[in-house]
Homo-oligomer: A and B are copies of this chain.
């Protein structure tokens, strides 16, 4: 249920087009749509300012489509599907108007919204192998109405590559910095930027990278101010938070 929908109900009450009892019923009916395998929570946008997102991992293609349809029927659009397998995308593509990005495994159903964020979100990566996670962040931010600038493969062991983009870094309203291995990119960017930096460790690397733990620890211990961290490979969380900051 969109905030707007709720407001219209309340205005209808004010205008005596709807009794309070009817209004209550209307609202109460909305929030949870029990589908047997998952409670689709339609009040979420109202409470958190964005449409429900479907976390595709571990869900069958059939479930994904059913949840997406339920959301679309409530007027939610676009619907973002993360961690969507190629198989699920193939199945869903027959049932829904789906745009699917195989790199980030993100699917989007419905039109992209207008860009109503207040500034630009910069998404940067240390290497090329971090791109899938970065794209999850970038597409999430775009699906939530943000202008996104991508700056990929600018890792700190070749610092001039990063510094030649100092302007983009300094003019962003929020930065998502994605890196695996030593995870130092957010620290360096954090020292250059004047805006919140969301650090995303990736599970890229081998040996003592420990599936992203090395990068995670590096980011948590950064000396740069204005920096916070999300879970390993959590591009969606970073993109969502960046959008929230960009809309404040």
- Interface residues of chain A, those whose CB is within 8 Å of chain B, are 31-32, 37-39, 41, 43-44, 47-50, 53, 57-59, 118, 126-129, 131, 152-161, 163, 173, 180-184, 187-188, 190-196, 198, 201, 203-234, 237-238, 240-241, 244-245, 248
Contact = CB atoms under 8 A, between A and B. Distances in A.
B188 A206 contact: no
Given A157-B187, A159-B191, A206-B232, A223 B182 contact: yes
A207 B220 contact: yes
A28 to B, nearest CB: 10
A217 B217 CA distance: 8
B128 A241 contact: no
B184 A208 contact: no
A81 to B, nearest CB: 15
B225 A217 contact: no
Given A156-B191, A191-B159, A208-B232, A222 B129 contact: no
A228 B32 contact: no
A48 B194 contact: yes
B57 A182 contact: no
B183 A208 contact: no
Contacts of A183: 182, 184, 218, 221
Contacts of A155: 223
A169 to B, nearest CB: 11
A195 to B, nearest CB: 7
B212 A207 contact: yes
Given A225-B50, A231-B208, A237-B227, A195 B244 contact: yes
Given A58-B128, A181-B222, 14 more contacts: A41-B158, A58-B204, A157-B224, A158-B191, A184-B218, A206-B231, A208-B232, A209-B217, A215-B218, A215-B221, A225-B240, A226-B241, A228-B230, A245-B248
Contacts of A213: 208, 217
A181 to B, nearest CB: 4
A118 B244 CA distance: 15
B227 A196 contact: no
Contact of A218 (B191, B198, B218): B218
Contacts of A209: 217, 221, 231
B39 A153 contact: yes
Centre residue among A154, A191, A240 by max chain B CB count within 10 A: A191
A32 to B, nearest CB: 7
